[in-house]
A and B are shown apart, each in its own frame.
Chain A
Amino acid sequence: MFLLVFVLIGVTIIIFFLSQVLMNPLALYLTDKTSQAAIPALIAHYHLNDPWPIRYAVYVSNLIKGDWGFSQSESEPVLQALSQRFPATIELTIASILWILLVGIPAGIISALKNNKAPDHISRLVALTGVSTPVFWLGLLLQLVFFYYFSQLGLPHLPSSGIYDTTLALEYPVATITGIPVLDTLLTGNWIMFEDSLAHLVLPSFALAFVSLGIIMRITRSSMLEVLRQDYIILARSKGLSERVVIYRHALKNAMIPTVTVAGLAIAGLLGGAPLTETVFGWPGMGRLAVDAIGRNDAPLIMGFTLITALMLVLANLVVDILYGYLDPRIKY
């Protein structure tokens, strides 16, 4: 737990360094309404002329208070801009995680059970390609095939960009409960838009998941193979338990342990790939906001985005650790 706090502090130090030391410290806090006269007051408020330790302390306390600086390109505070786009990124990330869980893990198990036969070779190929594929290129190709070519050929096709069809939404307004369209439409029974949001989600989440999918597949496969060789599996079989029970009750829980440890890495990959995927698919998430900010030289926004992503990763690793502790009773915290 201490490590967690320490890492968070460390991340803020890095971002502090990048935004306040490498760049003009004032840039973070200038709003579009700041007048020339107001600048000295601003400097005083943020202690920008004080020695670094004080500046850092002020910086961190401001972060906690919610003052992450001001985004010139969005004309609003950084935190506000980010939190508006947050649900969209969450929707994308969770959908990708679902791909990995519902396709990657079962595929890994099947690869292990059908070791060295066709499904195994296919999964190896997918894993190898996955790790070498540029996410943004994959996204573009998916759009080309599933949107453009399919529609040219008259086949039912998937939409190429956006989180839902805004024109359609004029007729069937999407409520804002959680901010996540798939959830909100589900909760309000707005089936037309639910289907629409889901359709929009398919391609981007698959593209994002593709890289990590292969890795998780292979890890599940190899750890499953390892587990099935263990002595306690022989005992389980000797009890007369059915093969299904042996695999799902005795083997799987053990096999998931190495997979979960890799999960942290996989999530880091998802978070890192989000900006690219969101850009290619016109997805209104934080990643795309950050990328646009690059073009507009909006450094405060980029820094804020980095900070929030680091926070998300730290949290995800915490969840992974807890999951790990639950799976393996030998671990004590």
Chain B
Amino acid sequence: MADETLLQVNRVKLDFHTYVGEVKALDGITFNVGKGEALGLVGESGCGKSVTALSIAGLLPENASVTSGEILFAGKNLLTLRKEEMRKIRARQIAMVFQDPTTFLNPVLTIGEQLEEVFLLNPEHLAAVASERGGSKNNTKSTLSRSQQKKIAKDLSIQVLKQVRLGDPNRVLKQYPHELSGGMRQRCMIAMALARSPDLFIADEITTALDVTIQAQILELLRDLKRDFRGSTLLITHDLGIVAELCDRVAVMYAGNIVEIADSGELFANPLHPYTKGLMRAIPMLDRRMDRLETIHGTVPDLINPPSGCRFHPRCPLALDKCKSVKPELLQVAKGHTVACHLYDEGNA
């Protein structure tokens, strides 16, 4: 599936500066996303999944700083790019969809305005479309007038709205976000991402804020889109069901660390890290009788003063002495399956 790597995150550490202290949100994470593959990033709330996504897209808030590591994308280290270059990458190559379509859409602009502006950022593409249609040889952006660009942008907007299964796209273009339902708004946000035909599509908990029935609809949409989508996807979620449906590979995150990476099927069949095992056990099963839902003992750690060594050790039923002082590295245990746990250190497994 993934012959080449599109995105490589190497040992990225990130801190937030707050009034109450330094929050060590990312503790040296490493993972990659291959071309054309869908990687799921799972973990509980607060484990750093969204922060990871924001770091990749260059959208971190003022008080966050990456203290070490690199994020390699299409041959460049995104962390060292100038703002202007990063902006161009966001305009063409990396697209992100967020969790809450109610707060993430601008209430005073129409859907059309918010969608067309994405197309208008890419005049070369508009010119290409124009020349395709016209069948003529002028394919430089300077020959297209502003109004011509807008017309093409509008047509493309209607096209992409159809792609996300929104009925009556013409009408939707003229509507404001508050006039649409939650599911429709989320489809619009997805449309805005697809509009760039991005190389990397990042979905940050995009179904979490929706009703269960709408969630299912969006999932179905994503499944269908995946068939035609030729780019890579980074799917961030805490819902293992979504992972099972849509992801080729999965990375499990806990308290700012990647603790396990495996192919999707392999992870469900053979979870290795104690945390992953705990997650799997906590899922209610339809085919098994369960008297009580299992939980992972303890609570998520405070990231201002995180536990030493392996951050999971206070809650781990299988913790060794070593786990309290030495942080485990991601080691390959089987083909395509890596885990960061001292239980699997050479000689222990």
A residues with a Cβ closer than 8 A to B are 230-232, 234-242, 245, 249-250, 253-254, 327-330
Query: 10 shortest A-B CB distances, which residue pairs?
Result: A240-B91, A240-B90, A231-B103, A232-B106, A231-B104, A329-B176, A235-B104, A238-B96, A253-B108, A240-B87
Q: Out of A237, A241, A327, name the residue touching B108 (CB < 8 Å).
A: A327
CB distance from B123 to the nearest CB of A (A): 13
Complex interface bits, B146-167 against A, C-beta within 8 A gives 1, otherwise 0: 0000000000000000000000
Closest to A235 in B: B104
For residue B329, CB closer than 8 A to chain A, the reply is no
A238: B residues at CB distance < 8 A? 57, 59, 90, 95-96, 98
Complex interface bits, B29-40 against A, C-beta within 8 A gives 1, otherwise 0: 000000000000
Most buried by B among A238, A245, A329, A330: A238
**Cβ of B87 and Cβ of A254 under 8 Å apart?**
no
**Cβ of A330 and Cβ of B118 under 8 Å apart?**
no
Complex interface bits, B84-104 against A, C-beta within 8 A gives 1, otherwise 0: 000111111001101010011
**Cβ of B91 and Cβ of A330 under 8 Å apart?**
no
Closest to A256 in B: B108
CB distance from A72 to the nearest CB of B (A): 54
CB distance from B160 to the nearest CB of A (A): 14
With contacts A234-B98, A327-B108, A329-B108 taken as known, whether A239 is within 8 angstroms of B103 at the C-beta atoms is no
Closest to A253 in B: B108
User: CA–CA, A232 to B98, complex, Å?
Assistant: 10
For residue B294, CB closer than 8 A to chain A, the reply is no
**Cβ of A235 and Cβ of B189 under 8 Å apart?**
yes
With contacts A235-B98, A237-B90, A239-B192 taken as known, whether A328 is within 8 angstroms of B104 at the C-beta atoms is no
User: CA–CA, A242 to B108, complex, Å?
Assistant: 19
Q: Out of A235, A241, A330, name the residue touching B121 (CB < 8 Å).
A: A241
User: CA–CA, A124 to B88, complex, Å?
Assistant: 37
A242: B residues at CB distance < 8 A? 87
Given contacts A237-B59, A254-B106, A330-B176, 4 further A-B contacts (CB under 8 A): A232-B104, A239-B192, A253-B109, A329-B178
**Cβ of A250 and Cβ of B95 under 8 Å apart?**
no
**Cβ of A236 and Cβ of B178 under 8 Å apart?**
no
B residues with a Cβ closer than 8 A to A are 57, 59, 87-92, 95-96, 98, 100, 103-109, 117-118, 121, 176, 178, 189, 192, 196
User: CA–CA, A236 to B115, complex, Å?
Assistant: 11
User: CA–CA, A240 to B121, complex, Å?
Assistant: 8
CB distance from B108 to the nearest CB of A (A): 5
**Cβ of B107 and Cβ of A328 under 8 Å apart?**
yes
CB distance from B84 to the nearest CB of A (A): 9
**Cβ of B108 and Cβ of A240 under 8 Å apart?**
no
B95: A residues at CB distance < 8 A? 238-239
CB distance from B103 to the nearest CB of A (A): 4
**Cβ of A241 and Cβ of B117 under 8 Å apart?**
yes
User: CA–CA, A234 to B96, complex, Å?
Assistant: 10
Closest to B195 in A: A239
With contacts A234-B59, A329-B176, A330-B176 taken as known, whether A239 is within 8 angstroms of B90 at the C-beta atoms is yes
A237: B residues at CB distance < 8 A? 59, 90
**Cβ of B118 and Cβ of A232 under 8 Å apart?**
no
CB distance from A45 to the nearest CB of B (A): 55
User: CA–CA, A127 to B121, complex, Å?
Assistant: 39
Closest to A242 in B: B87
B91: A residues at CB distance < 8 A? 239-241
User: CA–CA, A323 to B23, complex, Å?
Assistant: 44
User: CA–CA, A150 to B95, complex, Å?
Assistant: 60
**Cβ of B117 and Cβ of A239 under 8 Å apart?**
yes
A245: B residues at CB distance < 8 A? 117
